[in-house]
Amino acid sequence: MIAEVIVDISNSDVDKVYDYLAADGVLPGHRVLVPFGRQKLEGVVIKLKEKPDTSHALKSIERVLDPEPLILPEFLELAEFMRKKNLRYADCFRLFMPSRLRGGAIRELKRNYLFLNPEIDFESVYSDVPARAAAQRALLKELSGGALRESEAMERYSSSVVKALIVKELIIKKPMRTFRAPGGMKIAAEKPVLTPAQQKVADAVIGGEGVFLLHGVTGSGKTEVYMYVIEKALEAGKTAIMLVPEISLTPQMLGLFRARFGDGVAILHSGLSDGERTDEWTRLRNGEARVALGARSAIFAPLSDVGAIIVDEEHDSSYISDSNPRYFTSEVAEFRAAYNGAKLIFGSATPSVESYFKAVNGRYRLLEMPERVGNAKLPILETVDMREEIKSGNTGMFSARLIREIGKALAEKNQVMLFLNRRGYASFLRCRQCGYVPKCPDCDVSLTYHKEDNTLRCHYCGAKFKSIDVCPLCGYDDLKEGKTGTEKLEEETKRLFPDARVLRMDNDTTRKRDAYVDILTKFRRREADILVGTQMIAKGHDFKDVTLVGIIDADIALYYSDYRSAERTFQLITQVAGRAGRAEKEGKVVMQTFSPNHYVYKYAKSYDYKGFFRNEIRARELTKYPPFTKIIRLLSLSENEREASSAARSMAEEIASLKKNGAAVLRIQVMQSAIKRIRAYYRYQVVVWIDADGEDAVCPALYEIGRKHSHGGVSVFAEINPQQML
Ligand code: ADP
Ligand code: ZN
């Protein structure tokens, strides 16, 4: 028998299928060890066949690594699908299994547990232990109710107590497999009766076919609909996958799923240690857990017979990986739903323009929940024209109106969230005399001033420098701060409201594992009155006492040169606003802007998603942007500027000749990227517009051109509809 094997080596030159002689018993999906050149490498068998494709002498598979195939048949097909989308085979399989599983067989984590010695009679032994050995008696008693981790027993009773009982052979120690499943918040398991609106949507999904787009305003109770659909899948003996943006994976969310589905839920997200991820993956693979809850990568949960897949907050950019391997979560979700005949729901209060366009065109079925659950109303959105504030002499971060509203909310013992999508203290420093702005030596961007440790940091490569008081060019000692960030906002908030307890959540305060969970938990427990933060605070959180949301600078995303900037701004405002007034208390949003007449604000104010969509889709059609076209960017990177630019130019020429020969290419542009250099690499790009449905026909040739130019000092990265064009 011949086995086709994908070898675990992430290199485009050798990323193909290799034939090996296989002994009996080797099956597709088996991990194997194979000789490769002079090395022995791991690989995955993807197919068996009778005859080899070449007449070369074949080497034999050295060893099969698992008793049963580890990779499900579905994933062998998914790898083929993703390979067509420009991913390497090897990278696919790396996405399909946790890194711990590569480089050896599954290691089970075993921990020592203490048990009562089964050969003894508890009653008689217990009375034999003298009353003064109270700790020993207590431990025995506890063990009569069940096993206990040795480490926990040592901690609670002391190691000498444990040792004494072991020596007397009253208890025994035995290693057992454990799972390091991460914890959630304890939440009562009571299940609300679905509202008529929820039930209608749920019934449409259960009774319907195809892919669904659930457009439900913030607080409309989408989560209950998801859980209902998942429950139905489980009742039918199937499994389910629930995806949320990383940041929405809060203890509250975990608690909700744990309460509803118990240990049947496995959690997958980037905050897990390798060991934890392996454990959760294994529980899914062997059927102990039948619901996978996680961020983007959980779409690869090793579940068979999937009955429901849910992508919550589907517009969130975290569903599209921005570094290699690049994939669209929605495409993988659609593949898996089709393969398994599963229900697939994309849900959002602000669907991406592309998804909503699919719903309008009937590719997705549109379901709507236009009202909040119960009597909760959507908060009132008020815009404040910051130009007027400046005219009246207020150059601070807060408008008079916002200060008033914060004061009122605090006086009424409610909570406030203040949103500013820029971290740091000031976005840059500028010399007031010569205009010098400190920049990152490796990236073509200005450095951000961080007051807490008096540093200048690059938000692209992470470089950190001591701040300066004197301009290095002209020696002038008045450096003015440019635009302000969350750090400054926190400081200003504390200054204006000295009695309020303020928390800040952004990339800088959440570097430590679980830090963001701590911040959110504190805020939920009302250990703080005001939460200041970046878009991290915008997503999915459900705080009952928040009545006021302040948007400090609504315009930030608006003037990026990116076809998605209006869409992003609309989404962000709607999502942030959605944090206010979610329970009985009414909410209010104060939105500060320098361009109050922009159409985004008009529609955001009245929660008119459809109005926004109609406007936006017309603009996209006129300017020939997605969803009316697809944009492919070939990004050329090199430490040598000339090489980066000449590779880009040469690629553009080749694509132009493809176009001449009839390829469905609409337009080609070569240019320097918006940021000329990042991490010491110069960035040039070819941007190619193609027909919206031209991907299969055109992209393989474009990828090939990219690969060809990716050599020597140049790396080329291909991306479809890039999230940002930096
Ligand atoms: P969304 O995800 O659409 O923003 P959530 O799922 O967070 O909304 O629901 C908003 C609030 O309504 C939550 O506090 C939730 O517990 C509550 N809720 C949802 N469905 C029901 C229901 N059927 N009955 C009572 N409360 C509900
Ligand atoms: Zn840098």
Q: Which residue, among 422, 420, 419, has the nearest Cα to 546 in the 3D structure? A: 419
Query: Average pLDDT for residues 642-667, to the nearest whole number?
Result: 93
Burial 674-683 (b: 16+ CB within 10 A, else e): eebbbeebbb
| Alpha-helix runs per DSSP H in 218-292 | 222-235, 251-261, 274-285
Least distant ligand from the CA of 372: 1
The residue whose CA has the least distance to atom 6 of ligand 1 is 221
Instruction: DSSP letter for 145, please.
Output: T
Number of domains in the chain: 5
Instruction: DSSP letter for 634, please.
Output: E
Considering all CA atoms of the chain, what is the largest pairwise distance in Å, rounded to the nearest integer? 95
The residue whose CA has the least distance to atom 1 of ligand 1 is 219
Q: How far is the CA of 312 from the centre of ligand 1 (A)?
A: 14
| Domain-located, residue 402 | yes
| Domain-located, residue 638 | yes
Could you say which of 618, 643, 676 is where a domain stops? Answer: 618
Least distant ligand from the CA of 218: 1
Domain span including residue 324:
196-375
Q: How far is the CA of 354 from the centre of ligand 1 (A)?
A: 26
Co-location of 134 and 207 in the same domain: no
The residue whose CA has the least distance to atom 9 of ligand 1 is 221
| Domain-located, residue 573 | yes
Pairwise CA distance, residues 71 & 603, whole Å: 48
In which residue are the tokens 């998605």 written?
564
Co-location of 585 and 644 in the same domain: no
Co-location of 656 and 689 in the same domain: yes
| Tens digit of each residue's pLDDT (9 = 90 or more) over 378-415 | 889 999 998 888 888 887 899 999 999 999 999 999 99
Could you say which of 352, 375, 398 is where a domain stops? Answer: 375
**pLDDT score at 149:** 79
Co-location of 209 and 168 in the same domain: no
**Confidence class of residue 174 from pLDDT cuts 50, 70 and 90?**
confident
| Domain-located, residue 296 | yes
Co-location of 563 and 500 in the same domain: yes
Pairwise CA distance, residues 238 & 226, whole Å: 15
The residue whose CA has the least distance to atom 15 of ligand 1 is 221
Residues having CB within 6 Å of any atom of ligand 1: 192-195, 198, 216, 218-224, 373, 542
Least distant ligand from the CA of 228: 1
Question: Token pair of 135, please?
Answer: 């700790």
What CATH number did the domain enclosing 339 receive? 3.40.50.300
| Tens digit of each residue's pLDDT (9 = 90 or more) over 311-341 | 999 999 889 887 778 899 999 999 999 999 9
What CATH number did the domain enclosing 710 receive? 3.30.70.600
DSSP string, 579-607: TSS-SSS--EEEEEES-TTSHHHHHHHTT
Co-location of 590 and 673 in the same domain: no
- Tell me how far apart the terminal alpha carbons of the chain are, to the nearest angstrom: 50
| Tens digit of each residue's pLDDT (9 = 90 or more) over 503-560 | 999 888 877 767 877 888 899 899 999 999 988 888 767 788 999 999 998 887 776 6
| Tens digit of each residue's pLDDT (9 = 90 or more) over 413-454 | 999 999 998 877 777 788 877 778 888 888 777 788 887 788
| Alpha-helix runs per DSSP H in 85-185 | 89-96, 122-128, 134-144, 150-157, 159-167
Q: Which of 315-329, 454-468, 614-628 is modeled with the greatest confidence?
A: 614-628
Is pLDDT of 180 > 50? Answer: no
Q: How far is the CA of 94 from the centre of ligand 2 (A)?
A: 29
Percent pLDDT > 90 in the chain is: 48
Is pLDDT of 183 > 60? Answer: no
What CATH number did the domain enclosing 51 receive? 3.40.1440
**Confidence class of residue 105 from pLDDT cuts 50, 70 and 90?**
very low
Beta-carbon contacts of 588 under 8 Å, excluding residues fewer than 6 positions away, are 379, 380, 382, 405, 547, 548, 549, 580, 581
Pairwise CA distance, residues 410 & 499, whole Å: 10
**Confidence class of residue 351 from pLDDT cuts 50, 70 and 90?**
very high
Percent pLDDT > 70 in the chain is: 95
Q: Side-chain half-sphere of 299: how many Cα atoms within 13 Å?
A: 29
Which ligand 1 atom sits nearest the alpha carbon of residue 542? 7
| Domain-located, residue 182 | no
Neighbours of ion ligand 2 (CB under 5 A): 440, 442-443, 458, 460-461, 463
Q: Which residue, among 139, 29, 136, 122, has the nearest Cα to 78 in the 3D structure? A: 29
Q: How far is the CA of 192 from the centre of ligand 1 (A)?
A: 9
Is pLDDT of 185 > 70? Answer: no
Q: How far is the CA of 676 from the centre of ligand 2 (A)?
A: 11
Question: Token pair of 719, please?
Answer: 């991306």
**pLDDT score at 181:** 43
Count of residues in the chain = 726
**pLDDT score at 129:** 80
**Confidence class of residue 106 from pLDDT cuts 50, 70 and 90?**
very low
Could you say which of 359, 375, 391 is where a domain stops? Answer: 375
Is pLDDT of 178 > 60? Answer: no
Co-location of 392 and 313 in the same domain: no
Co-location of 152 and 224 in the same domain: no
Handedness of CA 10, 15, 21, 27 (dihedral sign): positive
Query: Average pLDDT for residues 31-46, to the nearest whole number?
Result: 91
Beta-carbon contacts of 161 under 8 Å, excluding residues fewer than 6 positions away, are 135, 136, 139, 153
Co-location of 640 and 593 in the same domain: no
Question: pTM for the whole thing?
Answer: 0.82
Co-location of 350 and 245 in the same domain: yes
Pairing state between β 448-450 and 148-149: unpaired
| Domain-located, residue 457 | no
| Domain-located, residue 188 | no
Residue 181's H or E segment, with its range, is: none
| Domain-located, residue 470 | no
Co-location of 361 and 388 in the same domain: no
Co-location of 384 and 359 in the same domain: no
Phi-psi region of 454 (alpha: psi -120 to 50; beta: other; left: phi over 0): left
Least distant ligand from the CA of 225: 1
Q: How far is the CA of 239 from the centre of ligand 1 (A)?
A: 23
